[in-house]
Amino acid sequence: MISDLLITKLQHRFPNRGLRVGAPPDPCAVFPGVHPEVGDVIIMDDGEELTLYAGKFTHGHFSNYEDNLTKEQKAVKIVEDVADFLEDLFADRVILWGSHLGGGGWCKRDAPLKLKSRSAKKNYVWSGPLNG
């Protein structure tokens, strides 16, 4: 399963983040939030892809559709993409907005044009709110 690769990678790359490990159909990985308004990061193993729930805001699907790769090679790339995203998230380089109830999203902090195109009242990074 892709979650086996993921857990090994996350334990190695983020040893001090409080990772909680589970097995499908439950979340395969949970990182506890560091700010109550942000919430936890939850990762689900969906078989061919991973779904990452970014706190109380939104979720994203991490997949690979390259035809020239084996299933195992795709899994390795997906796991690496998730770990890279988490590296940016935990370093406050990803801005979050919205909610699971009414839509939300994320973008890299260095992408100001994307931020101007949405109307969220409050933006967040992993460590907490960016604005009032």
Task: Please state the domain extents for the chain.
Answer: 2-92
Predicted confidence (pLDDT) per residue in 22-49, tens digit: 988 899 999 999 999 999 999 999 999 9
Q: At what angle do helices 71-90 and 2-13 cross, to 10 degrees?
A: 30
What's the pLDDT score for residue 117? 44
pTM: 0.90
